[in-house]
Structure formats: C-alpha cells, structure tokens
Amino acid sequence: MGASDTRSRFDYGNIYLQLDHPYAVSGTNMTGYVYLHLTHHFPATSVLLELRGDEKCKWTEQRTHKETFQGDQKTYKYNHYHNCHRIVVHQRFCLYNFGQDGAPPGDYTFPFNIPIPFGCPSSAYFSGTDCAFASIKYSIKAILQPNAASWLGEVTFKQNLIVREKAPASSDNISASINTNVKSCCCCCSKGSVSLETKFEKDAVASNEICRAMCQIKNQCSLPIQQIKICIKQFTQLKSESGIYKRSREIGSREFDGVQAREDTDGFSKLLQIPLNELESKMSHQLFYNFDPVYRDEVGLVNFIQPTTSGLHLNITYLLEVKLIYKIRCGKMPKTSIPLFIHAPEIEGFTIIKAPEDWNPTTYNESNYETPLAPIEMAQKQVFNNIAYNPAGMGMYAQSQLVPGGRAPAYVTYTAHSQPQYPLAPPVRSQLKPSAPAERPCSDKTPLLEPKEETKE
C-alpha cells in the first residue's frame, strides 16, 4: 500500500496514511486508514496518529518617532516588524499498542475515527503589501513508534490536511433590496429614483464554484443604467499584540447589459454570475520563503481564491455585491450585498489507494477501540488585553497561562488502549543487519522554492 509514494518507504517496509475524504470539517470526525507493511520484525511499541495545525503571520510597519533635544525636535522613521506564531491544535492518538515484543512481519490496517476540534479556522494563505504574509496550515501524520531501547527513530508518513470551517447558518435564495435616488454634481442634483431587488442563489460556496444572482430593476431615472456589475470583495486582517494590518480589495467582477432610462425589467430576468475558478489568486510565492517549505501537494492551494477563515492572527471575509453603474461624476451607485462564505479548496489529484492483489492485512477494526474526544487544545484563545476580542466564540486562557509572545500553551495527548496481542513471529531481529536508512529522492520532499540567502552589506 502506498509503495508508489517513496515517502512511505523505510528499511523495514512501508507505512502509508489514507483519508476517506480530501478535507476535514471543524467540529466533526475525520476517518481513514493507516496501512503498515513490514518485511522484518520491527521493535515497535505503538502506532500513533498526530494532528497538528499552525498559524503564522508577519508584516513590516513603518513608524515615526519624535525626539526633542536642546529645543530642537527631530522625527525619525523606523521599521517595526510584526511576527506571530501559534499552535492551533496538536494532538496525538494511539491506534494500537504492540507491547514489548514489537511488531512481527506482515500487513496491517488500522482504521481511525478522530475528532477535529470545533473552532479550527480554515486552511488559508495570504500575501500582501508591506511584506505581509500569513498562513494557516494543518498536517496529519502516521507514526510507527519504536521502543526506547532501540537505536531506531520514529517512522512517519506526513501529508497536508485541508480543514474547513462550518458556514454560520448558510441559506439559499437570500433577498436584498434598495430604493434610492440617483444624484450627481456633488450629490445635489437628483436624476430620479431606482429600485433594485436582488436574489442571491446562496451565501456559501466552494472556491471552484459559481456565484449566481437574479435581479429586478425599476429605473425611474432620467439616466440609463450603463452596466449591472456583480463583484466579490475581500477583506483581510492580520493582528498581532502590537498592531493590525488591514487590506480590502475587489478580487473579481463581471459586467452585464444595463437598463434604459424610465424602463423596468420583466421581473427577475437579469441573471448575473461570476465563476470563482476563473479569478486569479494573485498570491506571491515569496510567502513560502518566509515560512516552512512548500511541497507539490500544497502549491495548488494558493492558486485558488482563499477561503473565509477566522483565525486569531489571520482573518479573511468576503462580500458579494451587485451594483448599478450610472454615468455620473460623483454620487453613490445603488448596490445590494450579502456576506459570502467561501470554503477551502480540495487538494487536486485526491485518490483512494487501491490495495495490491497480495494484500492480506490483519485489520484492527475501530470497534475494538474508541478514540475519546481529546481536550480542545486550541490556541484560538484570548491573548490580547482587549477582552472583547474573542473570534469564533472560543474560550479564553487566563493571562497567567500565556507564554511571552502571545502564544498559548499547546498540549500533546497520548491515549493508550488495550488491544489483543498479535501472534509473535520467530525472533529474527538478532539475525537482521539493517542497512543505513536510505536517502529520500529529491523529487519527493524537496521544496519547490528554496529560501533566498540574506547578504549583509
């Protein structure tokens, strides 16, 4: 199992992790399998599953400082660097205990059903001006744990995990309307009234779907409507203990034919739509120079519009807007809008590995063990002095529990379960002379982008 992926190979066989779904949803359970193939006896104590999430952000802010010396006042400019990191979640679950005798040769299948803590923000990436970069990343790792007396290290298989937040009370066919006067020339000259009523198909979409809306217009105005515009606006906020970075921009729009003066549409006859998969993400790949290396299954995630996320340091929200465009010099354009929730994209090329013909595993069914709900080890807690700042309704740590830098303590949970012992094979460890661990090919885990070396002048 997973033999085609060289990351799964080690001197004693293969270990592979397979998820049932390409993404996980916070507050629900994630299921899958850990496959283990051993060609020789391995001094293992247990099979573990590790879930980890990290949130990072950094940006540069130019500040001024004034000093007065002997009656002269001078102003200095300097750069203030914001750099934040917190562990969103870090949990370990024990899938099976081999005991002191280790794991004999054979094929193993370990089903798992583990909880994703409620409140985990969506996986997301961001890059902007002022050297602003942020990311929320998750990973899941299968671990074959050797005993303490062995000279061997942990055998692992790690892959990225896409986490989605639950859309808050998502609904379909949302209506929004406005009835206003159209004014020009410094908002003092009225050209008549206009009524706009919009029905949005839904307020929660995936980043590869299409946003649709139907609108009804009553243009009782002396000016024609040049165009009807549907657009998506993105609002991003990075937050540290000493500052806030904000950016708002229009990430995509589509224009449609307007309505003549003193005319109405025939009901909701104007169909507006904007495909999200055709919008450019405009993500700077310098993002990966600042944080952990990026691998091939992660590159595709930055090519999509990033999802709505409510992290502690990174917050991204969207607005879906329909606007009537008049040919006027000034004055506000009539518009309707709703908050839009965008889900994280799925990893491209997600497939379920097929078992080889000679695969004959011993399956330890999940009914034999029950992974309890581990404590919510979230860093989505109160770390600022402003007690009103509490995103996603998460609980809060006391200030005495926090370490310097605003990073909440993280815990690692080991949960052991009593298991039936696997029949022991004849002892072969003393006869086995394993070779040195093979080096991983560069094409498998070599970062696509190497960090640039900094030179001091």
> Which two structure tokens, joined as six digits, stand for 107?
């094929």
Does residue 213 contact residue 222 with C-beta atoms inside 8 Å? no
> Which two structure tokens, joined as six digits, stand for 309?
């996320």
Q: How far apart are CA 144 and CA 37, in angstroms?
A: 11
pLDDT for residue 295: 52
pLDDT for residue 327: 86
Domains and CATH numbers, the chain: 6-166+348-445 (2.60.40.640), 172-343 (2.60.40.640)
Q: How many residues does the structure list for the chain?
A: 457
pLDDT in 10s for each residue of the chain, 457 residues: 544 556 677 888 888 888 988 889 999 999 999 999 888 899 999 999 999 999 999 999 988 888 887 778 888 888 999 999 999 999 999 998 888 888 888 888 999 999 999 889 999 989 888 788 899 999 999 999 998 877 888 888 988 888 998 877 777 889 999 999 888 765 567 888 999 999 999 999 888 889 999 999 999 988 999 999 999 999 999 999 889 999 999 999 999 999 999 998 888 888 999 998 888 777 666 655 555 544 555 666 777 788 999 999 999 999 999 999 998 877 788 999 999 999 876 666 666 666 666 667 777 654 333 443 333 333 333 233 332 322 332 222 333 333 333 333 332 333 333 333 323 333 333 233 333 333 433 333 333 334 344 444 4
- Residue 41 corresponds to which amino acid? H
Q: How far apart are CA 178 and CA 443, in angstroms?
A: 56
pLDDT for residue 256: 93
Q: What is the DSSP letter of 81?
A: E
- The DSSP line for 277-306 is GGS-----TTHHHHSS---HHHHGGGGSPP
Of 150, 333, 342, the residue nearest 258 (C-alpha): 333
Alpha-carbon distance values, 444 to 297, 340, 405, 440 (Å): 10, 37, 35, 7
Q: How far is CA 312 from the centre of its chain?
A: 13
- Residue 323 corresponds to which amino acid? K
Cα-based angle 287, 210, 391 (whole degrees, multiple of 5): 50
pLDDT for residue 284: 64
pLDDT for residue 336: 94
- Strand 106-115, strand 362-363: pairing: parallel
